[in-house]
């Protein structure tokens, strides 16, 4: 895949942190002209030794108002892009396309009282951007962030999530957020221990949140592996909750991460 020089900017890696052997976070500089809506993604490019550029789309973790860009990545075994990306270090160059895209944004919903964010793995990324944008706190009365990982060490950005309530501009809204971590392959204090779909089916997710999933009040964003998204969508469909489309506003918005 190629892109002309006019379509991307060259940014500098400011920080690379390994969470596990297969998960890492990265931060880059940000071009002053780069604009995006919280929840959108952008294509990143890495130049290989032979001069060819490989591209892959990543949701932006950081706020639309930050001076830097944050991303969350999984190393795909044998994957051409992530194998190159995981070798980069602070000071190296990363290409960032000028145009952000994606529809996992708040304007997918025209109404609603409670916002549910259901994320698995690196699918937490767009939700973190949305939570750092003031719009979501004004628009909803309750915000339920559900973050599922296989092991506790794979739960990224924990300090960011817990520090949201300490941010001055969110002080009067912090009570709206309920954070529900899920760890599926081990017992972990404070975390639920089954898949999101099983927890919905048993009513345990709603019990943990202290609020019901209903078409009248709930708006649901889902991001993660396609199987989880398909299964969750079917469960919500049984509750008369439909995918939100431009021509037909609904209660559910999704983004596949795989």
Residue 3: pLDDT band with limits 50, 70, 90 = very low
Mean pLDDT of 34-52: 95
Residues 76 and 111 occupy one common structural domain: no
Residue 5: pLDDT band with limits 50, 70, 90 = low
Residues 122 and 234 occupy one common structural domain: yes
Closest CA to 214 of 111, 145, 139, 133: 111
Q: Which domain holds residue 51?
A: 5-97
Residues 115 and 227 occupy one common structural domain: yes
Residues 127 and 195 occupy one common structural domain: yes
Residues 169 and 234 occupy one common structural domain: yes
Residues 50 and 77 occupy one common structural domain: yes
Closest CA to 222 of 197, 204, 185, 201: 197
Interacting residues of 203 by C-beta distance below 8 A, sequence separation 6+: none
Give the DSSP letter of residue 12: E
What is the pTM assigned to this prediction? 0.94
Residues 115 and 61 occupy one common structural domain: no
Residues 126 and 59 occupy one common structural domain: no
Residues 127 and 243 occupy one common structural domain: yes
Residues 38 and 156 occupy one common structural domain: no
Mean pLDDT of 189-202: 97
User: Considering its fold, how many domains does the chain have in total?
Assistant: 2
List the CATH number of the domain containing 250: 3.40.50.80
Residues 111 and 153 occupy one common structural domain: yes
List the CATH number of the domain containing 57: 2.40.30.10
Closest CA to 40 of 99, 126, 147: 126
Residues 57 and 116 occupy one common structural domain: no
Closest CA to 164 of 177, 182, 180, 148: 177
Residue 6 reports pLDDT greater than 90: no
Q: How far apart are CA 72 and CA 92, in angstroms?
A: 17
**pLDDT confidence of residue 201:** 97
Residue 108: pLDDT band with limits 50, 70, 90 = very high
Mean pLDDT of 99-107: 95
Task: Give 238: exposed, middle or buried? Use CB within 10 Å, 0-12, 13-18, 19+.
Answer: exposed
Boundary residue ending a domain (97, 123, 154): 97
Boundary residue ending a domain (43, 64, 97): 97
Residue 169 reports pLDDT greater than 90: no
Boundary residue ending a domain (78, 97, 116): 97
């Amino acid at each position: 895949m190629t892109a002309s020089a006019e379509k991307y900017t060259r940014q500098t890696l400011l920080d690379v942190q390994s969470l596990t052997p297969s998960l890492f976070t990265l931060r880059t500089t940000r071009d002053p002209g780069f604009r995006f809506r919280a929840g959108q993604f952008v294509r990143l490019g890495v130049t290989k030794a032979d001069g060819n550029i490989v591209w892959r789309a990543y949701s932006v973790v950081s706020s639309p108002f930050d001076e830097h860009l944050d991303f969350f990545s999984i190393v795909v075994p044998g994957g051409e892009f992530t194998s190159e990306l995981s070798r980069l270090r602070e000071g190296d160059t990363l290409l960032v396309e000028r145009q952000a895209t994606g529809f996992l944004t708040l304007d997918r919903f025209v109404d609603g009282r409670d916002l549910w964010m259901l994320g698995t793995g690196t699918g937490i990324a767009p939700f973190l951007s949305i939570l750092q944008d003031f719009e979501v706190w004004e628009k909803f009365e309750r915000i339920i962030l559900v973050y599922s990982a296989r092991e506790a060490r794979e739960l990224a950005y924990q300090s960011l999530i817990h520090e949201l309530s300490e941010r001055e501009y969110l002080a009067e809204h912090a009570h709206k957020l309920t954070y529900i971590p899920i760890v599926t392959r081990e017992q972990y204090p404070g975390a639920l221990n089954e898949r999101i779909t099983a927890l919905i089916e048993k009513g345990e997710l709603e019990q943990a949140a202290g609020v019901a999933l209903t078409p009248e009040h709930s708006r649901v964003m889902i991001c993660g592996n396609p199987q989880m998204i398909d299964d969750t969508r079917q469960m919500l469909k049984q509750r008369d909750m439909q995918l939100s489309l431009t021509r037909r506003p609904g209660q559910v918005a999704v983004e596949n991460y795989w």
